[in-house]
Amino acid sequence: MTDLLAIGTRKGLWLARSDDERRTWTLSEPHLLAQEVAAVSIDTRRPQPRVLAGIQYGHWGPTVMWSDDLGASWEETDHGAIRFPEGEDAALARVWQLRPDSPERADVVWAGCEPHSLWRSTDGGCSFDLVRGLWDHPHRQTWEPGGGGGAVHTVLPDPASERVTVAMSTGGVYVSEDGGTDWQPRNRGISAGFLPDQEPEYGQCVHKVAVDASGPDRLYAQNHFGVYRSDDAGGSWTSIADGLPADFGFPIVSSPHDPGTAWVIPLVADMQRVPPDGRLRVHRTRDAGGTWTELGTGLPDGNWSAVMRDAFCADDHDSTGLYFGTRDGCVYASADEGDTFTLVADHLPDVLTVRAARLP
């Protein structure tokens, strides 16, 4: 059994492997060196796992590349996997999210991009079509860019229905129940302290959303101020931030197996995006946000870095593995649901995205 960890950074992609039940990791040489890799996925639905990377050539523009041999070679589509149709007067700025759909939809891959747009591939990520329903939504012109740019950064297709949930900074949470044609904002209860109306219908800066293991209707959101849970597929949200040292942060990760279990990595505030007191810590809930436990074994004090929204993920082992990377280029892994962490890599460029998978 081999576990693979893909680490996308501002200046390249690294692949770490573990062949000893996630006890130790071996880091590869850099792939796509000097290219920003802001989105990565490991598609294990295929006979040969496909690593997909949303890259940005510093001068030469963004695109999607893929490798079917674990990084030995990379391919891209001649005309670009993601390109706005003629007449839209828009150009792809960055790929923020690559999300393979369910095994039943074997070649479907979703991409969330900047400018705010959602894309769907039916050929495993080699080419994508613009999801018109969201692009043509009348709200789109009001979605402002967050500090990192205006993007769809979270895409959550429900494997059992036609529901697709996206999150945007800014814009907030939108849900389609028909595979992407019609979209409704679902942000009631989520604050937007940067707007005059602090609980608008839409326009929130939701940093990340995760689906609970209990089913598609229970969601968690790490907001730009606020950690929330919804029990009705985003119809309403309630705060679950009590018990955390701060309610600001970027990522939120849920357990693939255990209902009610999720993890966050708090930062002090939007004007102070560092761990509280310089203590890099993961916080875990086992009761859907009712209580939180600080997890710090193996994590550093004196750390003034941050973890970006896509730089935290879980694997699907029975004992859930957690992986996150920091802006100062450190990557930590836990094979015991966060009880203990070990350092997988350090001195990498800023870590933007991580994904883990068991190789077949």
Partner 1 sequence: MTVQVLLPGALAGLAGGAKHLDLEPAGGTLADLLDALAAEHPMLCRRIRDETGQVRRFVNVYVDGDDVRFQGGLTAPVRDGAEVQVLPSVAGG
Where on the chain is the footprint of partner 1 (CB under 8 A)? 57-61, 63, 76, 78-80, 83-84, 86, 89-92
* Beta carbon nearer to partner 1, 58 or 278: 58
Shortest Cβ distance from residue 79 to partner 1 (Å)? 5
Shortest Cβ distance from residue 269 to partner 1 (Å)? 25
d(CA 159, CA 216): 9
Q: Tell me, what DSSP letter sits at residue 30?
A: P
Between the CA atoms of 62, 63, 64 and 65, what dihedral angle is there, to the nearest 10 degrees? -100
Structure tokens at 314: 């879980």
User: Is 27 within 8 Å of 60 (Cβ atoms)?
Assistant: no
277-298 burial by CB neighbour count: b if 16+ within 10 A, else e?
eeebbbbbbbebbeebeebeee
Shortest Cβ distance from residue 310 to partner 1 (Å)? 20
* Beta carbon nearer to partner 1, 56 or 261: 56
Shortest Cβ distance from residue 75 to partner 1 (Å)? 11
d(CA 244, CA 223): 14
Going by DSSP bridges, is the β-strand pair 26-27/12-18 parallel, antiparallel, or unpaired?
A: antiparallel
Shortest Cβ distance from residue 18 to partner 1 (Å)? 32
Cα–Cα distances in angstroms (integers) from residue 296 to residues 40, 130, 247, 299, 337, in the given order: 27, 42, 18, 5, 12
Under DSSP, is residue 332 helix (H, G, I), strand (E, B) or coil?
A: strand
Beta bridge partners of 36: 56
Under DSSP, is residue 132 helix (H, G, I), strand (E, B) or coil?
A: helix
d(CA 111, CA 151): 11
Shortest Cβ distance from residue 36 to partner 1 (Å)? 10
Under DSSP, is residue 265 helix (H, G, I), strand (E, B) or coil?
A: coil
d(CA 201, CA 251): 23
* Beta carbon nearer to partner 1, 85 or 215: 85
Shortest Cβ distance from residue 123 to partner 1 (Å)? 18
Q: Find, among 92, 87, 89, the residue nearest to 76 by Cα.
A: 92
Shortest Cβ distance from residue 63 to partner 1 (Å)? 7
* Beta carbon nearer to partner 1, 93 or 269: 93
Shortest Cβ distance from residue 34 to partner 1 (Å)? 9
* Beta carbon nearer to partner 1, 90 or 274: 90
Element (H, E) at 219: strand 219-223
User: Is 290 within 8 Å of 283 (Cβ atoms)?
Assistant: no
